[in-house]
């Protein structure tokens, strides 16, 4: 909660809005008002207040609609209903649906302020409780509570994930294999209103069709050979939490139809049953395929794609976020040290050079595996190039400086020649070369990586 608690007041009478705004501002609250239910919903879409104070009887969109919208956006937000005697029974029913409190018109200011103070305390306790639970889960996973990175593209992805996490919207994460799609999915879950519920996942391409259907939807006894008892499906088991469908592009067409029903109707039918069960999960899907191309080939349903693609998130490959490699190295080496109850190992300058210029086709997963390989083979604390997998250190030998001269060189050609000259003067040591050039090592690695795809004069 912010230093000044924020209150959204919703009422269709401007006089009540004005008097409440003056009263609450004097008490130190940050106040936003909305005249009518429609304006209240629009205010909720633009931000999450700490407390919502709303009239219950308004034309078209009522206080109960505001209550539902506020709880869907953030279940931790207390909603206080203002009610006349005629709508008292509705207010009592709304408390049973999750409203924090109701107050009858006309009210005493002291009574209203006391209710608001209790609402602030209630929200603060719930927020603190949620943070403590997240900290416990973070420690259980060795401290890796969020995806690691500092590059602009990565931070944009993380910001989007944090924005959509409190909602129940379906998320589709796209990216190459090994980019960390499940880590991001878990991060979204941990920062959602469902964080206290389960996080279950399944790889849709790892199981044969019949087994995948049974795992997803469950089955009843006798529905097929070997079904000796009822089995709960993962959609049911994930109730109240999040369900991560990895490699959803691999799902067979027949199961795509059943998944579409889950997304549309929020219900699933177990194999061999005629009765649907309610599905209360947040779906996060991921794929390394271009689903629009799969739709053109007829391998993926367009209606399912649009149901999944509510919030699209594109994870960049590691080669496009080289600024993040050092941070990832430190995180993985620290985790490996913790698992082995030992001091963390470090990379020598030459080993770091090899890691930074390698393209990492397997992305973050390949980097993690390479470090585990290196740590296992390193007798001391310093990881040398020979401890890394051979594919990472095997590089094409090229002269650092080209002898060919170019007439009217461009600024980029001059920059490249100077960088290569400094690099040669430093004996090929990129760390010292970056220091001599006055640039960050990651900037140097990025430039050198670009030069590898060009001719000596900068041509493609």
Number of Cβ within a 10 Å radius of residue 32? 17
Mean pLDDT, the chain, as a whole number? Answer: 85
Q: Over 50: is that where the pLDDT of 400 sits? A: no
Q: What is the pLDDT of residue 87?
A: 61
Which of 216-225, 239-248, 374-383 has the lowest average pLDDT?
216-225
Where in the sequence of the chain do the CATH 3.40.50.300 domains occur?
A: 152-316
CA contacts within 13 A on the Cβ side of 332? 21
Where in the sequence of the chain do the CATH 3.40.50.2300 domains occur?
A: 6-132
DSSP string, 351-396: HHHHHHHS--TTHHHHHHHHHHHHHHH-SSSEEPGGGS-HHHH---
Q: What are phi and psi of 200, to 5 degrees?
A: -115, 150
Mean pLDDT of the region 315-333: 92
- Cβ contact 158:149 at 8 Å: yes
Q: What is the pLDDT of residues 159-189, one digit of tens each?
A: 999 999 999 999 999 999 999 999 999 999 9
Mean pLDDT of the region 45-68: 88
Q: What is the pLDDT of residue 142?
A: 47
Q: Over 60: is that where the pLDDT of 138 sits? A: no
Helix, strand or coil for residue 284? strand
- Name which residue leads in pLDDT, 436 or 259: 259
Number of Cβ within a 10 Å radius of residue 108? 9
The rounded distance, in Å, linking the Cα atoms of 138 and 143 is: 5
CA distances from 317 to 8, 20, 180, 205 (A): 42, 52, 9, 21
- Scan for tokens 């367009």, then name that residue: 302
Q: Over 60: is that where the pLDDT of 403 sits? A: no
Strand pairing of 382-383 and 346-347?
A: parallel
The rounded distance, in Å, linking the Cα atoms of 351 and 349 is: 6
Q: Structure tokens of 382? A: 């310093």
Q: Structure tokens of 91? A: 């207010």
Where in the sequence of the chain do the CATH 1.10.8.60 domains occur?
A: 319-393
Q: Structure tokens of 407? A: 């007439």
Q: What is the pLDDT of residue 398?
A: 46
Q: Over 90: is that where the pLDDT of 106 sits? A: no
Closest among 161, 189, 190 to 175, alpha carbons compared: 161
Q: At what angle do helices 37-46 and 63-73 cross, to 10 degrees?
A: 10
Fold of 319-393: Helicase, Ruva Protein; domain 3 (1.10.8)
Closest among 391, 394, 388, 392 to 345, alpha carbons compared: 388
- Decide if domain 397-460 falls under CATH 1.10.3720.10: no
Number of Cβ within a 10 Å radius of residue 287? 24
Q: Over 80: is that where the pLDDT of 260 sits? A: yes
The rounded distance, in Å, linking the Cα atoms of 340 and 191 is: 30
Range with the largest mean pLDDT of 131-145, 339-353, 392-406: 339-353
Helix, strand or coil for residue 249? helix
Mean pLDDT of the region 62-74: 85
Which of 243-257, 290-304, 445-459 has the lowest average pLDDT?
445-459
Mean pLDDT of the region 389-399: 70
Fold of 6-132: Rossmann fold (3.40.50)
Alpha-carbon dihedral sign for residues 115, 120, 126, 129:
negative
At 70, the pLDDT band (50, 70, 90 cuts) reads confident
Mean pLDDT of the region 73-100: 76
Q: What is the pLDDT of residues 326-336, one digit of tens each?
A: 999 999 999 89
Q: Over 90: is that where the pLDDT of 443 sits? A: no
- Name which residue leads in pLDDT, 283 or 131: 283
Mean pLDDT of the region 73-91: 77
CA distances from 282 to 167, 170, 238, 285, 432 (A): 9, 7, 9, 10, 49
Q: What is the pLDDT of residue 134?
A: 62
The residues, any chain, with a CB within 8 Å of residue 183's CB and separated by 6 or more, are: 144, 147
Q: What is the pLDDT of residue 408?
A: 60
At 425, the pLDDT band (50, 70, 90 cuts) reads confident
Range with the largest mean pLDDT of 406-410, 447-451, 452-456: 447-451
Mean pLDDT of the region 140-160: 79
Helix %, strand %, coil % of the chain (to 5): 50, 15, 35
At 144, the pLDDT band (50, 70, 90 cuts) reads very low
Q: Over 60: is that where the pLDDT of 258 sits? A: yes
Mean pLDDT of the region 32-40: 93
CATH code given to domain 152-316: 3.40.50.300
CA dihedral 370, 371, 372, 373 (to 10 degrees): 50
The rounded distance, in Å, linking the Cα atoms of 425 and 36 is: 72
Q: At what angle do helices 325-340 and 363-377 cross, to 10 degrees?
A: 50
At 1, the pLDDT band (50, 70, 90 cuts) reads very low
Alpha carbon 145 to its chain centroid, in Å, reads 11
At 246, the pLDDT band (50, 70, 90 cuts) reads very high
Q: Over 80: is that where the pLDDT of 395 sits? A: no
Closest among 437, 406, 410 to 421, alpha carbons compared: 437
Q: Is 315 left (phi over 0), alpha (psi -120 to 50) or beta?
A: beta
Q: Structure tokens of 425? A: 């003067």
The rounded distance, in Å, linking the Cα atoms of 124 and 216 is: 37
Q: Structure tokens of 176? A: 């190459």
Q: Structure tokens of 247? A: 């490699």
The rounded distance, in Å, linking the Cα atoms of 51 and 44 is: 11
Alpha helices in 207-357 (DSSP H): 209-217, 234-237, 253-265, 291-297, 302-308, 325-340, 349-357
- Name which residue leads in pLDDT, 143 or 100: 100
Q: Structure tokens of 81? A: 């209903």
Mean pLDDT of the region 414-424: 83
The rounded distance, in Å, linking the Cα atoms of 316 and 180 is: 10
Where in the sequence of the chain do the CATH 1.10.10.60 domains occur?
A: 397-460
Q: What is the pLDDT of residue 86?
A: 55
Closest among 281, 278, 284, 280 to 308, alpha carbons compared: 284
């Amino acid at each position: 909660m912010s230093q000044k608690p924020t209150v959204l007041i919703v009422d269709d009478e401007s006089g009540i809005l004005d008097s409440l705004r003056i009263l609450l501002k004097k008490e130190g609250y940050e106040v936003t008002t909305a005249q009518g239910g429609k304006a209240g919903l629009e205010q909720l879409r633009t931000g999450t207040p700490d407390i919502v104070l709303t009239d219950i009887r308004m034309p078209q969109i009522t206080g109960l609609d505001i209550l539902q919208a506020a709880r869907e956006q953030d279940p931790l937000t207390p909603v206080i209903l203002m009610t006349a005697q005629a709508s008292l029974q509705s207010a009592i029913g709304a408390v049973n649906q999750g409203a924090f409190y109701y107050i009858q018109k006309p009210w005493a200011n002291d009574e209203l302020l006391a209710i608001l103070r209790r609402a602030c305390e209630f929200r603060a306790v719930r927020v603190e409780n949620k943070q403590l639970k997240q900290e416990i889960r973070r420690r259980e996973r060795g401290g890796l509570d969020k995806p690691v990175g500092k590059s602009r593209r990565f931070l944009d992805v993380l910001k989007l994930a944090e924005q959509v996490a409190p909602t129940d919207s379906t998320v589709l994460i796209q990216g190459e294999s090994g980019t960390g799609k499940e880590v991001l999915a878990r991060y979204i879950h941990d920062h959602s209103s469902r964080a206290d519920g389960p996080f279950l996942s399944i790889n849709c391409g790892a199981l044969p069709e019949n087994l995948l259907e049974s795992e997803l939807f469950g089955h009843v006894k006798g529905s097929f050979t070997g079904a000796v008892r009822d089995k709960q499906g993962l959609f049911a088991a994930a109730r109240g939490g999040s369900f991560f469908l990895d490699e959803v592009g691999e799902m067979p067409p027949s199961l795509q139809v059943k998944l579409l029903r889950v997304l549309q109707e929020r219900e699933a039918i177990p194999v061999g049953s005629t009765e649907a069960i309610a599905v209360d999960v947040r779906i996060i899907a991921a794929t390394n395929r271009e689903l629009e191309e799969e739709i053109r080939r007829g391998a993926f349903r367009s209606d399912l794609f649009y149901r999944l693609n509510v919030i699209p998130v594109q994870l960049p490959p590691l080669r496009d976020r080289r600024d993040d490699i050092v941070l990832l190295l430190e995180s993985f080496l620290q985790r490996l040290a913790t698992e082995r109850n030992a001091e963390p190992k470090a990379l020598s300058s030459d080993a770091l050079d090899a890691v930074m210029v390698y393209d990492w086709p397997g992305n973050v997963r390949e980097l993690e595996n390479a470090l585990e390989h290196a740590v296992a083979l390193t007798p001391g604390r310093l990881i040398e190039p020979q401890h890394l997998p051979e594919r990472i250190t095997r590089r094409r030998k090229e002269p650092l400086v080209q002898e060919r001269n170019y007439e009217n060189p461009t600024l980029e050609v001059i920059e490249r020649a100077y960088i290569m000259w400094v690099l040669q003067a430093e004996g090929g040591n990129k760390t010292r070369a970056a220091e001599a050039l006055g640039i960050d090592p990651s900037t140097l690695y990025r430039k050198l990586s670009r030069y590898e795809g060009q001719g000596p004069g900068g041509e493609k």
